[in-house]
Amino acid sequence: GADKALAVCLAGLRRELAARAVRLRDFLGAQDRFRSGEVTRARFANALAVAGLRLSAAQLELVSDAFASDKRRDMVDWQAFLKRMEKTEDPHANMAASQSVEEADKLEEILGRIRTTTRQRYQN
């Protein structure tokens, strides 16, 4: 269902981020003028596009709806989105994998190492 579609979409975004060594936090934070942790759907879409992430209109709507603000449905809680994206152990990742569970676990472990290395590289 929708959970699996979201997991597949997020897994694809994670792969793109890992390949580009992009700090998504910088792009999303730049769109958040008031530092509220929320941005309009248009600003969210813009941040993802500027970061080089390609989403179809349906995928963008799926992600925006999944991380819609509790306070205002026209806003996206980008910090919740980022937390989910940064998780190395996503509970839905194995559900979304078309490979075996073992292959998915190995891939997730490698991606986790890449994220850690990338974070360390840009902190120094």
Which residue matches tokens 């500027």? 50
Spatial separation of the C-alpha atoms in residues 55 and 116, rounded to whole Å:
25
* Residue 10: band (very low, low, confident or very high) from pLDDT cuts 50, 70, 90: very high
Total domain count, the chain: 1
Range of the domain at 85: 2-123
Q: What is the pLDDT of residues 48-66, one digit of tens each?
A: 999 999 899 999 999 999 9
Give residue 21's pLDDT. 80
- 123 pLDDT above the threshold of 80: no
Give residue 87's pLDDT. 82
Q: What is the pLDDT of residues 78-102, one digit of tens each?
A: 999 999 998 865 555 444 444 456 6
